[in-house]
Structure 1
Amino acid sequence: MLDSLIKRAFELMQQHQFQTASTLYQQVLQQQPSHSGALYGLATIALAQHQYDDAISLLQHVCQQCPNELQPLLDLGQAFSAVGSDVDHKTVLNYALKRFNQPPEVLYELARYNLVTGDIAQAIPLFETLLTQGNMSLKLYALFELAKIQSHKSNNYLSLAFELQPDIQNQEQACVLEYTLAQCYFNLDKMKEFAMHLAQANQLQLQTCEFKTQDLAPFFNTLSELKPAAMAPRDDSRDSLKPIFIVGLPRTGSSLLAQMLASHSQIANAGEQPFLAQTVTRLCQRTTKPYPECLASLTPKLIEQGAAYYLANMQRFSHKKNYVIDKLPANFQSIAAIKLLFPTALIIDLRRNNCDVALSIYQNYFAQSEPYFCDLDELAHYIGFYQRTMTHFTKLYDQGIVQVHYEALVTNAKVQLSTILQQLNLSFEENCLAFYQQKLTVHTLSATQVRSQLHHKSIDRALALAPFLPKLAQFSAL
């Protein structure tokens, strides 16, 4: 009986029917409170729904009951990472490394840990070890990371990639291999081959997408027609922690800007967090209306509860500083909610040349099934939605939204940073220009790039590649 419940719950979980699956797991626990399979199932659901505190508690029980199981330990490490507890994350990885005699899965996670925390020199030998010890997926992901980190070894990595090609087992592996080949050819300045493999990689990724960007048109149309909320904004003057939102398109330099600002003594960086989206979802549930329609039905109590939920989750990333950055680009869609919850919060609309944005998005592997990440025509639609939405919100809210351009940031950083800090009543600090020396955790695709000093090499990079990627031309008119 219990086995059939566990099996059915797992099937439902695979279909993302988390509520029903959770109910079945709870039924198992009512009969057998220490059932490790049910506890692990609930932990997996908690992770999927970004309920990290619940996940940590459940996974700790599972790890105690199943000391010979590696995956719960890896999941526990990821949960600690998600709540900003890097020390606990590394402790778990080091324990797993010794407990299971250096398994490749732990070596990969430890390499990734070193990468995102800025110890690139420690990450490289671990990735290199995986080229001979890992399974096919780990070999490919390790090779992909090395191709991005060590461009001077691209010929060697190219040869290894072609050696691995006959043993590809699934579409995900094929996709990673194509991105790796594209990266190697890019490093070697062989742009024809770069463009060919990049097109193949993005085509494989596009095949996993289950919707078109144009399907989002009704939602963005609603945002662009939004009227000022009838409800008065919340009084956030007494908040001890002040959020800073960096919004915009992906690959505009938000990791760089966040790293610079977080080098200030009064600012912390939480990275790209789901908490604003979770807050909005909770408001939708309590009003039984979708976003943004739910905003018209909010009460002062609901607004206060929403703000409290968001701040409680962001607090753990604040490191006792007064300001904390939330840099999830898609938060531009939730500006209307931000203005009710945190009316005085600074919102930075970070812009960059659209052609360079398009190239950077198309060139990077996001590992997400969203069409605008892997198709330039789809991306053009998304950029149009973004621009129309931000034009409307900038008119709707005449204060608190500051537009910053990547090109100005990298060419005149001190002036740009001083202007931003002035909005926060903070003085410029020289540490902000020494951001690359800070061992701050960065979980985005720019984890290695923000460890370098400022440079201008990424400005107008798309111009040189336009002959090989002709669809980039359409973005100059957007």
Structure 2
Amino acid sequence: MSQPQKTDFKAIQQLISSGRFTDAINRCEALLKDIQRADSLSQQECLYLMAVAFRLNKDYSSAIAQLQNILSIYAQHSRALQELGYNFRALNDDRLALEHFYKATQANPALLSSWQALLPYYQAKEQLQATELCKAQIKKLSDLPRPILAATDLFYDGKIDAAENLCLQYLQQNKHSLPALMLLAEIASKLRAISEAEFILETCVELAPNNAEAMYSLFKVYSKLGKFEAALSLSNKLLNINAENTFYKVAKATSLVSLGEIEDAIAIYQSVIDNEQADANLYLLLGHALKTKGDKQASIKAYQQAYMLSPTFGDAYWSLANTKTYEFSNDEIQKMLDAAKAQKTSSNDKIHLEFALGKAFEDKRLYKASFEHYEKGNAIKRSEIKYSSTNHNLFIDNLIKTFMPSLVSSLVSVGHQDPSPIFIVGLPRAGSTLLEQILASHSQVDGTMELHEILSLAANLSKKRQNLKAYPHNMPDIPKDRFKLFGEKFIADTQIYRQGAPYFIDKMPNNFMHIGLIKSILPQAKIIDARRSPMACSFSGFKQLFGDGQEFSYALDDIAQYYQAYLRLMNHWHEVYPNQILTVHHEDVVSDLESQVKAILNYCQLPYEEACLSFYENKRAVKTPSAEQVRQPIYTSGLEQWKHYEEYLTPLKQIFK
């Protein structure tokens, strides 16, 4: 936003404050002509001020028209939603007023005025639970220091930098302010500085050991970092504070699922359901646990119960699609189409619904309709994330420039010499879960999950400290004895996921970027690169809605560039670590399973076992999207699925020709 526009907006606000509403409207109309179409933020601000002036001038229809213009640009504009609530309240339309005040609080939970507007509606309708929730939120927001309330408001409106600056200014004078520290942690999480959020929240818990809100926030950060044992410990402490709190019960159950204690988790979910406290999301979590266990039919029933409780709950439909074997009925497809078009459906639900519809029409061999829905879901998701192929390629360049032969040779023997880890890396949807299931069927190998420890280490090393370099540039400057400590910590931190076998698997695909770091801290580790042909792998990623991360996968050109960067980096790793990385092509595994299994076991220095060929009989818990597929014998139908969509995949074909 240019400086003249800021001055103009301030002048318009002054006109409104002095009651000169017509002058404010005229000034807005004049300014709109000067604002470029590409400057959507300035356009939204101008339309918003005009709408406020129209409402205060009691021209409600004009105000509503301007607000709807804003929402056509950005559907989650919290203040436009709140303004609509004011307008409909003035028109005595309680239903629409209630609906828009509620939507405003969903878009921005820090809108105190909307919560205060909702309270009398809930009280009049004797909605006791909603009334108590509303009162609690009003009290929470009212108790916040004014600068932190303002910063919270900015944060939820997406003005992250402004929120952080305001928060830091307040902390300079109030160093131990718990609300300020917790908001700062939330900002760090939003910026994906998860380790920084962890440090801040651990400080909060030290300052206030019995503060349940701080503990619950820390629990969520531990879960993001994959520190599930620490998360479980916190959930138990929370239950000691309030044994009947449903959120704390669910927190414990999700930790147990992550630690592989599926039956105990299911028992907790079921106990909440039996006490009639279950909502749609709880049935979704129960479905995930049952799917991880391998109870396909029970998981399907749980997902169906979730969408029956909440008809626009996109994640319930997507979870059914994500079993990879479920086929939707015509009635379910119509329900999804209706929900995707409904104005009240959130963008997040629409994303899930569009991906589920893509799968539904794919199963019906209606590939044009299928691609249109996959494309819609990806487009919405891509609009909500910040990803840059340029920045990713720069990071890959920096890895290659850093891990040159001279550095690699200097670090070859400094790490922890434990030979037990087997890393399976590569791109998502490249067949890594299948390789994990094959290896985990060996008597000497424990299957675990996609572990976060290496990514967390890389993130910690990436922090800029004073004038020091960040990862990967700082690798030559790290004291040599630290690498052994890093390796020992990795082995200690991952012990919780093991069942006692001599070897174990870490199947985090994104670790392909950190092979140099892995070989520096664990030089004896085995590394298997799961690779799949570019068209098949790329399109499979495009039609997969990932739970978190993989931001590159929501546009075909981003996917193609990411695949090329992956090949470029893997070629480098093979050069600097010759004969230390095994590349396994998914197509070879499908066409000749036995010889590939023998090659994998030979590389891992493991004796041949027939159980690896019948991997689908292994009943271990599997959490990835391929869970259902790896419980079946090898099949070839997935190899050429992308060809049904070939005419729509020009951005991929142009690069992979």
TM over 0.5: yes
State the SS of the aligned residue for 1:474: helix
Contact 1:283-1:306 at 8 Å conserved across structures: no
Q: How much does 1:158 deviate?
A: 0.9
Structure 2 residue aligned with 1:142: 316
Q: Deviations over 1:285-323 (max 9, x none)?
A: 699532222321233421111001111122222210111
- Where in structure 2 are the equivalents of 1:186-225 lying within 5 Å? 186-225=362-401
1:94 pairs, out of 270, 287, 308, with 270
Structure 1 residue aligned with 2:331: 156
Structure 1 residue aligned with 2:345: 169
* In the alignment, structure 1 residue 267 sits paired with structure 2 residue 413: no
State the SS of the aligned residue for 2:622: coil
Q: Distance in 2 between matches of 1:238 and 1:11?
A: 41
Q: How much does 1:328 deviate?
A: 1.2
* In the alignment, structure 1 residue 386 sits paired with structure 2 residue 560: no
Tell me the TM-score normalized by structure 2: 0.67
Query: Residue 56 and residue 264 in structure 1: after superposition, are their counterparts in 2 closer, same or farther (change >3 A)?
Result: same
Amino acid at match of 2:234: L
Structure 1 residue aligned with 2:183: 11
| Number of residue-to-residue matches in the alignment | 473
Q: Flag the structure with larger Rg.
A: 2
2:601 pairs, out of 421, 440, 454, with 421
1:440 pairs, out of 613, 616, 620, with 620
Q: Deviations over 1:384-442 (max 9, x none)?
A: 21111111110111121111100000111111011110122212212112222222122
Q: How much does 1:172 deviate?
A: 0.6
* In the alignment, structure 1 residue 395 sits paired with structure 2 residue 575: yes
- Where in structure 2 are the equivalents of 1:252-401 lying within 5 Å? 252-283=430-461, 288-368=468-548, 370-401=550-581
Q: How much does 1:379 deviate?
A: 1.1
Query: Residue 268 and residue 352 in structure 1: after superposition, are their counterparts in 2 closer, same or farther (change >3 A)?
Result: same
Amino acid at match of 2:315: Y
Structure 2 residue aligned with 1:56: 232
Query: Residue 87 and residue 151 in structure 1: after superposition, are their counterparts in 2 closer, same or farther (change >3 A)?
Result: closer
Amino acid at match of 1:8: A
Contact 1:272-1:327 at 8 Å conserved across structures: yes
Name structure 2 gaps, 5 residues minimum: 1-138, 145-176
Q: Deviations over 1:72-101 (max 9, x none)?
A: 222222223333433443343234333454
Name structure 1 gaps, 5 residues minimum: none
* In the alignment, structure 1 residue 455 sits paired with structure 2 residue 635: yes
Q: Distance in 1 between matches of 2:199 and 2:453?
A: 22
Q: Deviations over 1:249-268 (max 9, x none)?
A: 11110001111110111111
Structure 1 residue aligned with 2:164: none
Contact 2:290-2:296 at 8 Å conserved across structures: yes
Contact 2:416-2:523 at 8 Å conserved across structures: no
Contact 2:283-2:306 at 8 Å conserved across structures: yes
Contact 1:242-1:322 at 8 Å conserved across structures: yes
Q: Distance in 2 between matches of 1:437 and 1:40?
A: 38
Contact 1:6-1:28 at 8 Å conserved across structures: no
Q: How much does 1:23 deviate?
A: 4.9
Q: Distance in 1 between matches of 2:452 and 2:597?
A: 26
Contact 1:253-1:406 at 8 Å conserved across structures: yes
Contact 1:262-1:269 at 8 Å conserved across structures: yes
Contact 1:143-1:180 at 8 Å conserved across structures: yes
Q: Distance in 1 between matches of 2:326 and 2:283?
A: 22
State the SS of the aligned residue for 2:528: strand
State the SS of the aligned residue for 1:404: strand
State the SS of the aligned residue for 1:316: helix
Q: Distance in 2 between matches of 1:96 and 1:292?
A: 46
Amino acid at match of 1:260: I
Query: Residue 283 and residue 23 in structure 1: after superposition, are their counterparts in 2 closer, same or farther (change >3 A)?
Result: closer
Tell me the TM-score normalized by structure 1: 0.90
Amino acid at match of 2:533: N
Identity of aligned residues (%): 24
Contact 1:267-1:322 at 8 Å conserved across structures: yes
Q: How much does 1:344 deviate?
A: 2.4
Query: Residue 234 and residue 93 in structure 1: after superposition, are their counterparts in 2 closer, same or farther (change >3 A)?
Result: farther
- Where in structure 2 are the equivalents of 1:10-159 lying within 5 Å? 10-16=182-188, 19=196, 23=200, 26=203, 30=207, 33-134=209-310, 136-137=312-313, 140-149=314-323, 151-159=326-334
Contact 1:224-1:388 at 8 Å conserved across structures: no
Contact 1:355-1:473 at 8 Å conserved across structures: yes
Amino acid at match of 1:470: T
